[in-house]
């Protein structure tokens, strides 16, 4: 059976799915075809149910159209455990200095965007492709930018200044990690197939963690300027024990994110995190 697996071309996804792409793990009856796209594009495609398995921002999963078509998997998640998307500025700026500021964001369906809105409601946002935000802020296109992916580690190369790390803020607020994105399986596949797909994804993550140098060599082809040390650090931030299995604590953190978003009026309705 042919299965499309949609994910970003970023180093962390490339690392966790390396074994699947390289044929290092058994996928059983499934022939997996990888489809690459930036996370905002994948979130939008999930509204239409375009792929059997897809990476999705947890914020996007709160959209009723996505929930109608997909269930979440506990394997393959990216979680900020005391760190996460970071707001940066051209000049030193305290967090309260964001009041009324324009912040460039990587997409309104990203969890980073939801976290920013939970942090401050009084910012103006403008969507820019995530990989262009650091240069745009450095050029003065806006007062600040919201960085995801490797930009969280490389913004200093452009002499940008950190304003707030939303993962650290979230831990101070809730005592838990900030769940950013996960994998979702289309409901029409059924629970039995979903379980077998989840097993294959888990095997790929375990292979990468057990063969780190091999998988990192592959991931750095998608590192957008990351050297090996920073590439290894970035992969370690978002491919780890949380990725193997969110567990009860991780699933509770996803629910807490939905509850906070609903309570703040940032989600259209109350959302229950449904995991298969």
3-state secondary structure of 148: coil
Longest Cα separation, the chain: 54
H or E stretch including 164?
A: strand 161-165
- Across the chain, the runs of DSSP E, i.e. the strands, are 2-7, 31-36, 53-57, 70-72, 78-80, 86-89, 102-105, 124-127, 144-147, 161-165, 178-186
* The pLDDT of residue 48: 97
Task: Judge contact between 12 and 234, C-beta under 8 A.
Answer: yes
Instruction: Identify the bridge partners of residue 71 per DSSP, sorted by sequence position.
Output: 185
Q: Is 149 a catalytic residue?
A: yes
Given 7, 51, 59, 149, the catalytic residue? 149
Q: At what angle do helices 166-174 and 247-263 cross, to 10 degrees?
A: 90
121 burial via Cβ count (<10 Å: 0-12, 13-18, 19+): exposed
Task: Judge contact between 231 and 217, C-beta under 8 A.
Answer: no
The two beta strands, 78-80 and 144-147, are unpaired
- How many CA within 13 A on the CB side of residue 68? 7
pLDDT tens, N- to C-terminus, the chain (276 residues): 999 999 998 999 999 999 999 999 999 999 999 999 999 999 999 999 999 999 999 999 999 999 999 999 999 999 999 999 999 999 999 999 999 999 999 999 999 999 999 999 999 999 999 999 999 999 999 999 999 999 999 999 999 999 999 999 999 999 999 999 999 999 999 999 999 999 999 999 999 999 999 999 999 988 677 899 999 999 999 999 999 999 999 999 999 999 999 999 999 999 999 999
* The pLDDT of residue 111: 98
Lookup result for tokens 């807490």? 256
* The pLDDT of residue 221: 87
3-state secondary structure of 35: strand
> Domains, the chain, ranges and CATH?
2-80+179-263 (3.40.190.10), 86-174 (3.40.190.10)
Query: Residue 169 corresponds to which tokens in the numbers above?
Result: 């803020």
pTM over 0.85, yes/no:
yes
């Amino acid at each position: 059976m042919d299965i499309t697996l949609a994910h970003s071309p970023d180093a962390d996804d490339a690392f966790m799915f390396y074994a699947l792409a390289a044929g290092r793990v058994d996928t059983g009856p499934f022939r997996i075809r990888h489809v690459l796209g930036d996370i905002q594009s994948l979130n939008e495609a999930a509204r239409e149910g375009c792929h059997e398995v897809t990476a999705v921002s947890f914020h996007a999963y709160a959209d009723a159209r996505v929930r109608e078509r997909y269930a979440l998997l506990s394997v393959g998640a990216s979680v900020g455990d005391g760190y996460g998307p970071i707001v940066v500025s051209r000049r030193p700026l305290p967090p309260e200095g964001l009041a009324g500021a324009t912040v460039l964001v990587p997409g309104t369906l990203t969890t980073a965007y939801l976290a920013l809105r939970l942090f401050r409601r009084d910012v103006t946002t403008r969507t820019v492709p995530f990989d262009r935000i650091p240069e745009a802020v450095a050029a003065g296109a806006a007062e600040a930018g919201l960085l995801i992916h490797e930009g969280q580690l490389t913004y200093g190369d452009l002499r940008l200044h950190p304003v707030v790390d939303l993962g650290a803020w979230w831990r101070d607020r809730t005592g838990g990690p900030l769940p950013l994105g996960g994998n979702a399986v289309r409901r029409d596949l059924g629970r039995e197939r979903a379980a077998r797909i989840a097993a294959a994804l888990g095997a790929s993550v375990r292979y990468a963690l057990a063969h780190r140098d091999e998988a990192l060599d592959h991931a750095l082809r998608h590192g957008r300027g990351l050297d090996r040390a920073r590439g290894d650090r970035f992969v370690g931030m978002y491919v780890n024990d949380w990725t193997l299995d969110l567990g009860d604590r991780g699933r509770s953190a996803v629910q807490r994110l939905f509850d906070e978003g609903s309570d703040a009026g940032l989600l259209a309705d109350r959302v229950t995190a449904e995991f298969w």
